[in-house]
Amino acid sequence: MPGTRVRVLSMFTEWARSDPMRIFWLAGLAGTGKTSIAVTLCRMLQTDPGALLGGAFFCSRIANITDQMDARCIIPTLAVSLAEQWPDFATTLAQVLNTDSRAALKPIGLQIASLLQQPMTGINALYCPIVFVIDALDECSDENEVKKLLQAISTLGSTATVKFILTSRPETHINTSPISSSQCNSILRLHTIDMAEITEDIRLYIEDTFAKSSLVRPWYSEAQVQTLATLSGGLFIFASTIIAYILDVNSVKGRSSRLQMALSAVRESEVVMGPLEAMYDFVLARASDTAKIEPKELDAMLQVLACILTARMPLSISALADILGMDSDELQGSLQRLHALVHVPEETDQPGLRTLHASFGDYLFTRNRIPTSLGDETLAHGCLRLMSQRLHFNVSNIHSSYEPNPEVKPSSISLSLEYACVQWIYHAVDLAGSTWLEDDIDQLFCPQFLFWLEVMSVLGRVSRAAAMLQLAASTVSRD
């Protein structure tokens, strides 16, 4: 993003070194490149002698990690990161934690006081400002906690110079918070930058990516690159997704054909839907072309997509296939046509299945391409079925019940079984009243309750078991 990035970095450099304002807020609509800029700023801070990167926290819905959607995890994470780089801060933070071991569990305002402000008291400020980066605040699940975080950051006092770079969509709960005041904070709204400048950035990005592709013979023209940049409507996610779709084939004819189809299809539909939805419509239509995919394969693909979007922690191909009762090869086949939209880890046992951008999940659910309950229903059924098949006496293979739990998860407890035991109720809770669900819960927990509890104990999650059972009791309507 040459033009836009130069502007952002220029504003940032001035703000970090001389601007007295504590907060630099980068606001932008979905797909405008906020996270890419945040990553660039982090890299810049790591080599900049004029400022110290105290820590970074990247909020994310698509990562399927609960902590990355929890605003209450942000300050403890940043405090640990700063302690790893600044020994004096680490010493005083340890003293605070020795006095109050539950400081990280306090409300956000008290977290900042205990984990940042108090450890800095009495410490001579560094010769440069300490900068924290918090990306994609709008992807935190609890809006009230985000409001508390922004209020606390805005009123933070410290003997050290502490600054925050925040990025987010201009959501209402963030727009109405103290950070939206340009009198108190430095603000750049990406969606207000001149469209011609952004389009030129995207054109350069497309041209550079195409030029670096593996094919020697030309398969695109400058006019096509310009048209694709114009159709992007200022959205870098549009360009990157279309590029991934085009480069998924490795022949001159194939890429040329895909580029022409993409330009024609998006040009025709973007007036009605907007560039982002037009792009998703195009890529998904090609992935689900009934002339090239059987109805059963299409149903399986949509079911897998729903599960990836709904899963509560990162899963591998083999783990998700196990939960769904599929072969890993079968699941990979379902995802083969979605490489432009879904990140698929190279190794089947490597966790990390996720969509490439949160806006794709929003599109699928709001456009009713996938029922909102499909992922929960499929995962609840799969988790209960898997536990019914895999739970047995001494499932963790411990030699004696008098021995303490192993420090490392036993190999007999696979990622799929771990997910099933820990997450099943959170998928089932919204399906209360389903006859099959009640039958599955009855059939599992009557004979295998203690085996499930053993797994929870070995995983160090036994403290959650009681709450999960209370949720289960409310889910099963009959005695």
Q: What is the dihedral of CA 289, 294, 295, 299, to 10 degrees?
A: -80
Tokens representing residue 97 in the block: 């934690």
* Contact predicate 185/21, CB 8 Å: yes
Residues 23 and 44: their CA atoms lie apart, in Å, by 17
Enumerate domains of the chain plus CATH numbers. 2-192 (3.40.50.300), 200-287 (no CATH), 295-366 (1.10.10.10), 380-475 (no CATH)
- On whether the pTM is more than 0.75, the answer is no
Tokens representing residue 457 in the block: 């104990």
Taking the CA of residue 55 as centre, how many other CA atoms within 13 Å lie in the half-sphere pointing to its CB? 17
Q: Count CB-CB contacts under 10 A for residue 291.
A: 4
Residues 330 and 336: their CA atoms lie apart, in Å, by 10
Per residue of the chain (479 residues), what is the pLDDT tens digit? 455 666 666 777 777 666 677 898 999 888 888 898 899 889 988 887 777 899 999 998 876 677 888 999 999 999 999 999 888 889 999 999 999 989 999 999 999 999 998 888 756 656 678 899 999 999 998 999 999 999 999 887 655 578 899 999 888 888 888 888 877 788 888 877 888 888 998 999 999 999 988 787 889 999 999 999 999 888 888 999 999 999 999 899 999 999 999 999 888 776 557 788 888 888 888 888 767 788 888 888 889 999 999 998 889 999 999 999 999 998 988 888 888 889 888 899 999 898 888 888 888 888 878 888 899 999 999 999 999 999 999 998 887 777 777 877 888 899 999 999 999 998 988 776 677 777 888 888 888 999 999 999 999 988 888 888 888 877 765 54
User: Which candidate, 75, 71, 274, places its Cα nearest to that of 173?
Assistant: 71
- The DSSP bridge partners found for residue 130 are 52, 162
User: Which candidate, 337, 435, 431, places its Cα nearest to that of 376?
Assistant: 431
Residue 416 exposed, middle or buried by CB count within 10 Å (0-12, 13-18, 19+): buried
Helix 415-428 vs helix 317-324: crossing angle, to nearest 10: 60
Residues 164 and 185: their CA atoms lie apart, in Å, by 10
Helix 358-366 vs helix 275-287: crossing angle, to nearest 10: 80
Query: Residues of 330-363 as b/e, b for ≥16 C-beta within 10 angstroms?
Result: ebbbbbebbbbbbbbeeebeebebbbbbbbbbbb
